[in-house]
Structure 1
């Protein structure tokens, strides 16, 4: 499964490969991110231009429709269908990550009717992961909870374009009925927003990925239980929680995992105010009125 250690490794890991002119392995540094990004963009766009999906089934779903996205090439009976790149349900969003600009392509086949997650929340999903234009490497048959900060950048920021369902109910046999109003989508992830130079089981280094998912449920996440939701711990608002900017006290622990964000010895929970329902009150307390809330200000 995707772990937060992947983020720490992105752009830093060295790849070991076999050198025919040497008796042992040689260390190959990661490739230039900008160069790889150009290759990824070309690869993903080529796929989007030559493939379509079963949008007619989503537009007029049959009673027994399973709401599965099926990609297919534009040929034969599909020759007149709209390619993914031109479909109105495809969203292209720009992100800057490790000083490189990337495009994340998200297909919203069905938006959903419930709560919409941030990139940093906890989500209840079914998913399938493939290398773009190639084989499946992972997937679920029953839904699982995913804490999005522990996934790769492209996954959480793709899933946030959907909304959860509202019709989950428990059947008499202990199984669940998820209704039909949950979100269904897919995200095309350039390798730089995925595992980049890190090879994983069934995923070669520099692989561009596509995840299809169904979003059944959402919980707002506060990983360190300090009263500040994960998404609000993204200080520089770049949809990534492991930047240096998101570690206010510089102790090597990202704010969303740090119970004392400013390192002043006072717990974050003790530097903010809560209402009678236990929710943090905004704006956050700023005792010295310097524009920095107490929980991020060691000099308050």
Structure 2
């Protein structure tokens, strides 16, 4: 089955949508080799899907396969995604279709766009992109922010990637009119750590309130960002991750890495410098976000 935008829907996703049951979209970059090394990427896929199922919703992994956008994948299609090495942002969706890309793994921006077109209102990821450090010179601002601002979807994440300019990311979201919420937390998370030291604009403690924020949005196209801190037991101490991030960013600059290549490069460096500690942290926050997203989706459909 296909949706109105031509995306291929798996049988379980199509059935859930037609019956008005909750669905949670998932990006596929995090499950590819660009997000996590094997076999951790496959583990992440399974734990995120299971967390969504355990809370009464249907997972819908997004990807481009054989030039067609997909929401919901078969086991064979998942295997192709796990080996994916080509990112698809929102701007690339039409190109991927026109050129018939074999496998394209979707970023936050592409997944939010595909979810909206399919009528899926909740999306879970690890961390969003944002304003890069030095953006006043490079102009490097992730398309994730524009997509969240222009599609009425609730994005559930552990804040933005910790190596970004987090104060400017929050300023950008404010300018774009995106409500930024903290799930039972008063501080904007920094991915591996529970707090960036930046206060969250609005704390929420109840799923229904999150749903109502989306319903009562001032702009019909604006989405909502729900930030969820990494579980306490899985947090990497700030003192350690700060030094690692500084070294990783310096290495990326020295290597001349720019644009979309920065994220996988820096994440790989972080994994190396933390002796792999970043991988279980990634898995924990992704699973946690997926479960909370499912709870939000259930409340939205009640």
Normalising by structure 2, we get a TM-score of 0.23
**Which has more strand, going by share of residues?**
1
Which structure has the larger Rg over C-alpha atoms? 1
Q: Which protein is richer in helix relative to its size?
A: 2
